Every structure is written in structure tokens, then in C-alpha cells.
Structure 1
Amino acid sequence: MNKLIDKTTKKYVWINGEKVETENYATLYSPYSREPIAEIAMADAAVTKEAIRAAYEAKNVIGDMPAYQRAQILENVVNILTEKAEVAATIIATESAKPIVFARAEVARTIETYKFSAEEAKRIHGETIPFDAASGGVGRIGYTMKEPIGVIGAITPFNFPLNLVAHKVGPAIAAGNPIVLKPASQTPLSALFIAEVFEEAGLPAGVLNVVTGPGSVVGDVIVEDDRVKMVTFTGSPSVGIGISNKAGLKKTTLELGSNSALIIDKDIEIDAIINRCVMGAFSNQGQVCISLQRVYVHEDQYDTFVEKFVAATKQLKIGNPLDSETYVSSLITPSELERALSWIEETKQSDATILTGGKVQGGILEPTIITNADTCLKVSCQEAFAPIVVVNKIATIEEAVELVNDSQFGLQAGIYTNNVKHALYASKKLEVGGVMINDVPTYRVDQMPYGGVKESGTGREGIKYAVEEMTELKLIVWNQE
């Protein structure tokens, strides 16, 4: 095990500022080496309810805390995490097999996310209402306030185990809410690490609680407990839809993934965009909600793009995630590898062509490019969450937009074009939450609104926008007569 990782193999749940033992533990294995990393506490319903109780009892502590103090705690997290950046990156790479170069980038983004959260903590305000605009409002003045919503249940995925936790914990604390966090089963170490960082930063006990264990137990308790006022979830559509069905009148933010697409117009210099396309398709093994999965290239540029895209992809180094030269490593679990291989096998029974990849090298799926893929193939119409991208030919932008929209998902899409009319047409007609002009759909910075339509979910993340979701609007009216 890397020297930067805590050699304590037994990991407990974190409740009310303390490590709490559970009856059962499960071994956490490295996705890359399959060696044991740690023994992870498996919380049951009772332990989860204890975490919710701790959060509920801390809601006035954080809710009544002045904004500048909440901001200072978040600034302290920024400083501590900056000092421990390499430790954090090594934890991410070890538990998720994210190549260390991308793990370091995630830590840098996480630091920015908490920085934005500290800033937004000072910007939460209401507005005055012109009551005399109505005849019945003469003699009255009114204003709105934004109050903390209460206990927030946060359920996070494995693919960005530090930054997607930050996108829920940061705005929750900025808004004055306590949190019960259930991290992904494969990546609990990052969440337990950040809990200790928050303790060092001065966050009162009970405000952040981390409960590890199976989603069918921990997640269900969080979603169904009446003391939890909001659930924020990032993960699969099937689980998200289940949460929505169980949440009742709770507020929910659901980020449920996509099969993100890119349109490449005929007037684009292909050499200038290849590296971005490679990053969009294959960073973090394609395990990104906005990973570039479908590319629609104008017929005039198709052959050139495919040739150069394949050549660049073949240069990517596969291997150990802790090697700074590695670009692609293992998928998160052996079962995910088997699923991805079965999808690739399906394409072999069709008219599609696998130009590169499609095979396993040392337990790692090679970056895979497929052409002439029918829209009904799983690699095209479902979320691959693997280093798989399909490239198809189009004759017009209108045809491309129609193909992009022929999806159950709608998170983000991109278009490379120098034609203003084409850019405006795509901006208006693409059925997604975000359109990237002259960039891949994989682009994200942490202060922008982020979320989708259709089965890509509901609500928006991005610190300011998450704070809006995590506060309740209260109206105050004064009668002066």
C-alpha cells in the first residue's frame, strides 16, 4: 500500500464527530490489483438512524451559525486540503483506480469547490417585494429570507469520490444544513478522509456524518426518514427513480448520467480538437456522467477525424493508476468490465466496426472506438460508463441534432462549429441541460449550473444553484397601517 495512505485497515462510520464501530465489516479491494485495501464498516438501519439523529440534533448548531463562521470553516477545509492534496489524490487513485494524473486534477477541483462554497455562504440573501404594486398591498412592506432546509441526505458515486461529495457537502454547510453522507461502496475512504478534514477545520460534531454500507439499507433509511428534508443523489437512473418514488414530499436533486454526444461540423480543423475528444471519451476510463460517448461527424470530415482519433487513442498508456504516465486503468469492478465487454460483443453481432480496443489488457479494457453503430445498440443508446465511444457520419447539423436528441438522456452535449447559425440552432434545439459550443460535452467547472433533462435527472448542482435547492424561501410581510 502507498505510504501516503493510512495503514489503519479498519474503517469505521463517522457519527457526531466520532468513529463508531459496526457489527459487520466488508473488505474493500483495489479495482486495479484486486488486493485488499481496508475493512469497511457496514452500517445497518439502526446505525444509519443514529447518524440521522446526530444530524437532526446539530441542525440548530449549524443553522444558527453566522455566515462568516460557516465560510471560515470552509476556508479552513480549503487550506487543509491544499496541504494534504497528494494524500487525497493517492486515496482516490487507490480506491477507484482513477489514474493519479486525473486524481490530482480532481483534488484541485475539490479545493475550488470548497472555495466557492465558502464564498457562497456569504451571498445567501432574499429580496424586497414591491407590495404597493397591487392595490391590496398599499401600506405593507415585505421581503424574503432563505433559511436552511434541515437535514440533507447525500448519496454519492464512485467516479469523483472527493469532488462530488464536495458538491453536496460544501453548499449544504454554506447554507447552514447538517448532512448524512452515504458514499459509494467502492470509494468510502475519500469520504471518511474529508470528514476528518472537516473536524480539523472546526466543523461542529454532528453536522457531517458519514455512513458506509449497502445502498439497499443505508440509502433507503436516509430517503425514507422524515427527519431528512432533502435527498441529493448522483448515480444511476434506476436508483434515482427509486429514490424519487420513495422520497414523497422531500426535495430531491437527482443527477443520473447520460450518453453525451458531440457534433463536429464540416468547417472544423480536426487536429485542433483531437486531444479534447480523447480526454472527453477516455479520462477516468469513461466513467464520467458527461463522458463523450457519441460523436456525429460531418461526412466531409469523417474519414480525417476517425483516422486521427484512432491514432491518438492508440497512444494512450494503460496500467497502474499510481503511475503518473497512466491514462487508462481498471474499471471500478470486475462486473463492470464484464458488462462493458458484453456490450462490445453485442456490436460484433451487428454491422458496427471496432476500429481499436474492445479487448482486455492486464485486466484493463482498452480504449474502444466503434463506427457505424446502430442507435439501438447498448453502446449507443445506454450509458456505457466505460472507455467506449461510437463515431457516426452525418450530412447536416439538423440530422446530427435529431440523432443527439434520440436518447432517453439529456445532460450535456457539445458542438464544434465555426458557423454561428449552426451554433445557435444547436443551442436551441438540443434537448440537454447544457450545450458546449466548440468543446466536448465533458466540460465542467464547479461553479456552473450542472444537471439535465429527461432521464438525466432533476435539479441543478454548482454551488450557487445547489444552495438554492438547499434553502427554503420564507416571506415576511409588515403591515404599517
Structure 2
Amino acid sequence: MYSVTGETELGKVSLMSQDEVNQAIQKADSIQKHWKNYNLHDRAKILHDWADRLVEKQEDLAFMISHEVGKGIAAARKEVVRTADLIRYTAEEGVRAQGDIMRGDSFKGGSSSKLAMVEQEPLGVVLAISPFNYPVNLAASKIAPALVTGNTVVFKPASQGTLSGKLMIEALLETNIPKEVIQFITGKGSEIGDFLVTHPKINMVTFTGSTKTGQAIAEKTRMIPVVLELGGKDPALVLKDADLDLAVKQIVSGAFSYSGQRCTAIKRVLVQNEIAEDLVQKLKVEIEKLTVGSYKEEADISPLINEQAADYVEELIQEAVEKGARVAVGNKRKENIIHPTLLDFVNEDMRVAWEEPFGPVLPIIRVQTEKEMIKLANLSEYGLQASIFTKDVQKAIELGAELEVGSVQLNAKTERGPDHFPFIGAKSSGLGSQGVRRSIESMTRDKLFVLNL
């Protein structure tokens, strides 16, 4: 395994065969009932110990995250600390999770002699598949709630992110957790992917990645719970009464942090004509301040994850320019680095208006009315998040109610978190809900005991 620039060998992992994957799943399945019967506080204690070890290994983990996925070292350290906080909160929330008591006569015609106890049962073996861009945080957001609820886990990290995931799991295995409870899987998705998601011993799949892959997983799994966190084309709606300085600050941060390689990045701006020119000029000034270079130098814009990703972003930019989009700033490339690019006068005929680039390019779509904004926002196949910039809170709520997205941010960039908030994708952006409590709920099922007194 090499660094994102391909210049440094970071480590090696073996690619597992289907037979080896099957053995790992069988181990997770064989110990699941034992793990389920662990004292809940003991499971929570293991998670707290895991969080402590991640913090202790913060520098090693941050180094690996930084070099493996091209993230600045400060952002990589922040990911490790954030992950430890997430794990601790999950442990505490798991201990607080309670069942329910229901009286029979609380429903008309029901009998007072009946009393129902509703408990939460773990699903069994959870398959957790994480993406490259947050190789530790988004993995732990799946693994921790599964473990605290009594599930065992088969964990498959992204290829670029495998070594970071491996270090994270090694820290977990330093706790008192039974070793078979967490199974670390490596291999090419093309060779083991279908085998994993269709294995009869897998009882749930939680996946973060591309919409295409997520849709394929949903079609193949059948009859087991699936939680999918997929792509996005998050719009920022800038109304004519918006505080432009605030909007510009949030849009630039939202669109270009980690070079735009986030499903929650702002990926298009819908702005009313009256203020469009002012907004574009202010955005241009701020974008030109962004530094471009190596992640080792803490540059704002650093290499994309691979050459194919850079090719795709460049292709979208060139297609838009050929169809009449104006380059306000950017449109330069060096190897895998795409300079931050602002495209003005983008229209519906351009692919960049609809496709998710996963890179540092921001299209500006000028509109006349708020109604047109909503129409264009909702025409997208995606529905992850949206931002609305306006001084009129009532207007923002009214417009937000019409947007077909999981979350609406008022006067702020689209982003995930805090990690205990529900995280939802509509349409092709996802299936199910995440966030600590929601994730815990998704990994259990109700079991009813009826007492006849």
C-alpha cells in the first residue's frame, strides 16, 4: 500500500480469498451469542478503552490517515480525536438504551391482564463497509454501535484507507474484547464484494460509498436491514437578502475543504440574479486565497485520491466550459491536483450541474426566483443536504420544507455532525438513518414478551 501520491510505501496487507472471508464470517457468527450475553456495561467499558487507545495512538493514526488518503496532519489528528469522542458517546448511549413496557388495556378493548415487555435484540453479524475519505471516523460510526448492542462485526475498509482501518482495529484488539468479535476483511470489491453482501450469515449491511455501489448492494442483499450513506449534490441556495460575506465564507469552506472529497460538500450554488455578480466576485477573491500543494504542507487543496478522480473532475470542467460556462477562477491541473475552480453561468445542459465531482469545483447557477431554485434543487437524483442563506428565518423554513433532502442548514455550510445528530439521505443519497442513537436503533430489532397475568 502506497501514499496517495504513490511515492511512499506505507505497509502491506494480504488480499483475502472468498474462502478466507467465509472463515472470518463464520468466526463472527460463532461468537455472536456469547458476545450478546456479555454484560452491557462490560461491552461499553471495552468501547471506552478503545477510545482511550485511539487517543494514545493519535500520532501514528494521524500519520497513516494523512499519507494514505492525502489529508493534512491537523485534520487527520482531528479525525482521531473526533472518533474517540464518537465511540465514548456511543458507549454511553448504548447503556442508556432501554426497552419498553406496554399495558394491554391502554388500547381500547385490550385486557388489563396483559403486559408486554419490549426488548432490543442485536441483529447478529453486521457487515460494515467504510469509505476512503474518513477511514477511521466513518468506520467507527458503524462498528461502535454494532458492538455495544451485542452484534459482531465484519469490517471491510476501502482499499485506500485499509492501513488506517487496520491500525484502528489493532487498537480495539488491545482491549478485553474477544478477538473473534471483530473480523478485519481485506480484498478487492470486484472479487469479494458480492460474496460478502450475499453471505447467509450476514444479518445487516451498513455501507458508505458511491451511489452506484450502494444501489447494487440494496438489490442483492434482500430481506436483511441495509443502511446506506451515498453520494450528494448538495446545493447552497443564496437568496437576495443573504449576508453575502457570511455566505461566501461558509460556501468556500463547505465546497473546498479536503479538496471537495466529501459527500456533504457544497457542490452547486443557486443564486438569485440580483446578487449573483456580487457573490461570484466575493467567492473569487476568497478562492484565490486557498493554498494549493501537498497535504504535507497543510495546503487547502491537495491531490485527489487517485488519477481517475482527477480525470473525472477535469472532464466535468471541460465539458461545462465547452458549453459556455465561464471560468471565474481555476481550471488548472498538475498530476492529481485540481486547482480550486469556480464555474459561473452553469446551466441545466451541463453535466457539472447534476453529477457529483468529488473534487474542488463549484458551479454557479443563476436563477430568477426562489421557485426556480427549489425546482432545480429537487431535480437532482440526490437528496443529502442543502444550505439556505437568508436573513428571513421564516422564509428559510418554508423553502426548506420543499427541499427533498435529509437535512437543511440555515446560514451555514452543509456538513456531517455533530455525530450524534441524525444523518439522513433522501432519494439516491441514502437509505436509513445514522447518528449515534439512530445507528444503535438500526442495529437492533424489537422482541416482545407478553405476560398474561
Q: What band does the TM-score fall into relative to the shorter chain? A: over 0.9
User: Taking structure 1 as reference, are residues 376 and 48 closer, same or farther at Cα in structure 2, changes over 3 Å only?
Assistant: farther
**Match of residue 212 from structure 1:** 186
| Structure 2 length-normalised TM | 0.97
Which of 40, 43, 63 pairs up with 1:70?
43
CA contact under 8 A between 1:182 and 1:218: conserved in structure 2?
no
**Match of residue 319 from structure 2:** 346
Which of 242, 260, 282 pairs up with 2:216?
242
Aligned counterparts of 1:453 and 1:269: Cα–Cα separation in 2: 28
Which deviates further from its counterpart, 220-229 or 106-115? 106-115
Matches within 5 A, 1:408-419: 408-419=381-392
Query: How far 1:33 sits from its partner (Å)?
Result: 4.4
Per-residue CA deviation, residues 269-300 of structure 1 (Å, 9 max, x unaligned), is 22223222111101111110111101112223
Aligned counterparts of 2:53 and 2:62: Cα–Cα separation in 1: 14
Query: How far 1:427 sits from its partner (Å)?
Result: 2.2
User: Taking structure 1 as reference, are residues 375 and 86 closer, same or farther at Cα in structure 2, changes over 3 Å only?
Assistant: farther
Residue 400 in 1 paired to residue 373 in 2?
yes
- Give the letter for the 1:428 counterpart: A
Aligned counterparts of 2:169 and 2:333: Cα–Cα separation in 1: 37
CA contact under 8 A between 1:178 and 1:208: conserved in structure 2?
yes
- Give the letter for the 1:72 counterpart: K
Residue 474 in 1 paired to residue 430 in 2?
no
**Match of residue 310 from structure 2:** 337
**Match of residue 431 from structure 1:** 404
- Give the letter for the 1:377 counterpart: M
Matches within 5 A, 1:189-338: 189-324=163-298, 326-338=299-311
Aligned counterparts of 2:380 and 2:337: Cα–Cα separation in 1: 28
- Aligned identity (percent) is 33
3-state SS, counterpart of residue 323 of structure 2: coil
CA contact under 8 A between 1:262 and 1:415: conserved in structure 2?
yes
Q: How many matched pairs?
A: 452
CA contact under 8 A between 2:302 and 2:337: conserved in structure 1?
yes
3-state SS, counterpart of residue 226 of structure 2: strand
Gaps of 5+ in 2: none
Aligned counterparts of 1:217 and 1:124: Cα–Cα separation in 2: 38
Aligned counterparts of 1:437 and 1:243: Cα–Cα separation in 2: 33
3-state SS, counterpart of residue 467 of structure 1: helix
CA contact under 8 A between 2:238 and 2:247: conserved in structure 1?
no
Residue 87 in 1 paired to residue 60 in 2?
yes
Per-residue CA deviation, residues 240-273 of structure 1 (Å, 9 max, x unaligned), is 1111111011110011111111111222222223
Matches within 5 A, 1:10-159: 28-132=1-105, 133-159=107-133
Query: How far 1:395 sits from its partner (Å)?
Result: 2.7
Aligned counterparts of 1:182 and 1:306: Cα–Cα separation in 2: 42
Aligned counterparts of 1:101 and 1:274: Cα–Cα separation in 2: 24
User: Taking structure 1 as reference, are residues 264 and 99 closer, same or farther at Cα in structure 2, changes over 3 Å only?
Assistant: same
3-state SS, counterpart of residue 296 of structure 2: coil
CA contact under 8 A between 1:211 and 1:218: conserved in structure 2?
no
Query: How far 1:166 sits from its partner (Å)?
Result: 0.9
| Structure 1 length-normalised TM | 0.91
- Give the letter for the 1:434 counterpart: S
Query: How far 1:136 sits from its partner (Å)?
Result: 3.9
Q: C-alpha root-mean-square deviation of aligned residues, in Å? A: 1.4
**Match of residue 332 from structure 2:** 359
3-state SS, counterpart of residue 301 of structure 1: helix
Aligned counterparts of 2:328 and 2:176: Cα–Cα separation in 1: 53
Aligned counterparts of 2:71 and 2:429: Cα–Cα separation in 1: 23
**Match of residue 377 from structure 1:** 350
Aligned counterparts of 1:93 and 1:426: Cα–Cα separation in 2: 39
